[in-house]
Amino acid sequence: MKRLFVITATMLLLMVASTTFAQKTISGKVTDSKDGQGISGASVQIVGTSNGTVSAQDGSFTLSNVAAGQSLSASGVGYETKIVDIGDSSFLQIVLTATTQEMNEVVVIGYGTQRKREVTGAISKVSGDKLNTIVAPSFEAALQGKAPGVQVMQGNGLAGSGSVIRIRGVGSVTAGGDPLYVVDGIPIGSDQFLRQDNRSGMNQNPLASINPADIESIEVLKDAGATGIYGSRGANGVILITTKRGKSGKPAFNYSTRLGASTYTRKPSFVSTAEWLQLRQEGWVNDGNTGYADIPGGFTYESAAKNNTDWWDLLTQTGFINEHNLSMSQGTKKFKTFANLSYSNNEGYIKSNAYERLSARLNIDYNILSNLKLSLTSGWNRGVNKRVPAAWDGGIGDAMSGALPFFSVYNEDGSYFTNGANPMRRMLETKRREIDNRFIGGLSLEYQPIKNLFIRANGSVEYTTAIDDVYESNIWINQANPDSGYAKRFPYWGTNKNGNVTVNYLKNIGSDHKFNFLAGVEAQEYIRENYLFEIGSLPVRLT
């Protein structure tokens, strides 16, 4: 019996050793059949098992615990799934082919459209329905994770604040890194510093007033080909925004609403008063001092220990988000119309902070003749941003830095505490509101005199106004003078005119060769005015 046990155990050990010996680690690379470039984010998995990984930025991958004779499955978004036998290989080169549906998709390339399979540059397309899958403060924030090579970084999280977008990294050391935004062929102003500096610790997002529900699709031009279309303006990439237009059929109405909540992703860790006093005393002693350490604000250890203020809790909230969209689409062979009316209110995670947007759109397409088409594009957006101080300007910035836990909001007599940072005093005694109005209108005419020859003329205007109002009470400015108080207004006007004429000729040679000849001219003019108004004075600044 003992001998039988030894033989059985030996055989089991040999089997385990044999299995372990047969397992190995393999590596490889997933590439695109079109250009040979690596595909990042591709799923690589052993067939029939949970053993898998995701390819790196250059398409490379590594898998361990792989047995000879197993098969490998590789797939990616927009690519057909491919299964390969591993065999005795330790390195696999996996080539994926884009799906037929993806390759036949029509994309906007600037002055026209092409099928994706005919595009030689790097273009990513995001449809409007994908943008609206999540509640986002603005459309560019909804791009996050939906377009390869496009990095979207949310700013400070305040309602109405902008996102930082970088296409394939930073392309300049001293110049700006923002891409060019083009709405229905109209290059628009999107510079957050164009109208103002970062007063109150944030910049108003000039793109926040654009309604994501109006967007049909977004194309991102990522390579040097963008400069061939838009010149130096496209040096950091181009984001082309196409709004919805009317479709054939009887009038169809659509209503949608979304409700949500906003809060901070993670609460920072703050020390309590007892912990702060302990750390203060330890630092005091470690510096070679004796006795009790000095405490800011004229506090003693006994008086400081009585307070333990949670500044973060006092300044933050769970915001409510609601959005409503009502649209109408109708069309005949000659006349198509799309109209939309939208309202949204996005409360931020900081008390008193909210961004309210009202927008309207009317797009019309009219076939005057069989070879002559007139198109009208128009949109109006109004954004009201209830701003609060942040970062270096106080408010939530003070709550994360200078406001110590033993400071209080009010003194015993009911007056504000002023012997140190008091974020609540700053927030309650200052008011700020910024109102933006943006009108975008464009008229285009397309004429086809002969087959495959298209002549297009476009004229457009973007008119923007902004009023940034700031009020600071006498309690904040000067407590000794009850009649004081301070009000400022920063108005802005901007007019952006654009016009272009293009001649486009298409030539097909057989079924495999296509030529697209394009010639055109474009002119753009941008005029802006800034002022500063103060109570009791004339404008003191003009730029």
- Looking at 81, 100, 119, the residue that finishes a domain is 100
**Residue 35 burial (CB < 10 Å; 0-12/13-18/19+)?**
exposed
- Specify whether 94 is located in the same domain as 140: no
Q: What is the pLDDT of the chain when averaged over all its residues?
A: 81
pLDDT score recorded for residue 236: 83
Classify residue 147 by its DSSP letter. S
Q: How far apart are the first and last CA of the chain?
A: 100
Distance CA 365, CA 376 (A): 6
- Looking at 38, 70, 100, the residue that finishes a domain is 100
- Specify whether 39 is located in the same domain as 55: yes
- Specify whether 53 is located in the same domain as 94: yes
Name the β-bridge partners of 367: 373
Tens digits of residue pLDDT in 239-278:
888 889 998 889 999 998 988 888 888 888 999 999 999 9
How is 452-475 classified by DSSP, letter by letter?
A: TEEEEEEEEEEEEEEEEEEEE-HH
Amino acid at the residue 178: D
Structure tokens at 321: 């988000």
- Looking at 79, 100, 121, the residue that finishes a domain is 100
- Specify whether 68 is located in the same domain as 195: no
CB 269 within 8 A of CB 275: no
CB-based contacts of 397-400 (< 8 A; 24+ apart in sequence): 397/201, 397/423, 398/311, 398/422, 398/423, 398/426, 399/311, 399/312, 399/314, 399/315, 399/423, 400/268, 400/312
Distance CA 238, CA 225 (A): 10
**Ranges in the chain, pLDDT < 50:** 4-7, 13-21, 101, 103-104, 117-118, 120, 536-543
Distance CA 75, CA 54 (A): 10
CB-based contacts of 298-302 (< 8 A; 24+ apart in sequence): 298/419, 299/406, 301/277
CB 103 within 8 A of CB 119: no
Cα dist from 453 to 147, 283, 503, 505, whole Å: 33, 80, 7, 5
Query: Does residue 402 lie in a domain region?
Result: no
Distance CA 403, CA 395 (A): 10
Query: Does residue 9 lie in a domain region?
Result: no
The CATH number of the domain holding residue 60 is 2.60.40.1120
Distance CA 247, CA 33 (A): 36
CB 98 within 8 A of CB 490: no
pLDDT score recorded for residue 366: 94
CB 177 within 8 A of CB 236: yes
How is 422-448 classified by DSSP, letter by letter?
A: -HHHHHHTEEEEEEEEEEEEEEEEEE-
Question: Nearest-CA neighbor of 364 among 327, 396, 336?
Answer: 336
pLDDT score recorded for residue 198: 55
How is 264-328 classified by DSSP, letter by letter?
A: -S-PPP---HHHHHHHHHHHHHHTT--SPPP-GGG--HHHHTT----HHHHHB--EEEEEEEEEE
Query: Does residue 436 lie in a domain region?
Result: no
Q: How far is CA 36 from the centre of its chain?
A: 30
DSSP, collapsed to helix, strand or coil, labels residue 90 as coil
- Specify whether 181 is located in the same domain as 212: yes
- Specify whether 230 is located in the same domain as 168: yes
Query: Does residue 201 lie in a domain region?
Result: yes
- Specify whether 129 is located in the same domain as 221: yes
CB 39 within 8 A of CB 59: yes
Give the neighbor-by-neighbor strand order of the sheet with 43-46. 52-54, 43-46, 71-75, 82-85
Query: Does residue 80 lie in a domain region?
Result: yes
Q: Which distant-in-sequence residues (6+ apart) come within 8 Å of 337 by Cβ?
A: 246, 328, 329, 330, 331, 362, 363, 364, 365
The CATH number of the domain holding residue 228 is 2.170.130.10
DSSP, collapsed to helix, strand or coil, labels residue 13 as helix
- Specify whether 232 is located in the same domain as 157: yes
Question: Nearest-CA neighbor of 165 among 59, 265, 241, 243?
Answer: 241
Cα dist from 251 to 246, 279, 329, 336, whole Å: 9, 70, 6, 10
Q: Which distant-in-sequence residues (6+ apart) come within 8 Å of 132 by Cβ?
A: 142, 212, 213
- Specify whether 64 is located in the same domain as 194: no
Structure tokens at 35: 């250009």
Query: Does residue 185 lie in a domain region?
Result: yes
- Total count of domains within the chain: 2
- Specify whether 36 is located in the same domain as 120: no
- Specify whether 109 is located in the same domain as 95: no
- Specify whether 70 is located in the same domain as 112: no
Query: Does residue 188 lie in a domain region?
Result: yes
CB 148 within 8 A of CB 40: yes
For residue 151, what is the enclosing H or E element?
A: strand 150-154
Distance CA 417, CA 351 (A): 20
DSSP, collapsed to helix, strand or coil, labels residue 133 as coil
> Whose structure tokens read 């000879």?
68
> Whose structure tokens read 């990042």?
40
> Whose structure tokens read 């947007």?
357
Structure tokens at 354: 């909210």
Query: Does residue 52 lie in a domain region?
Result: yes
How is 515-542 classified by DSSP, letter by letter?
A: EEEEEEEEEEEEEEEEB-EETTS----B
Distance CA 424, CA 408 (A): 9
Q: Which domain holds residue 74?
A: 24-100
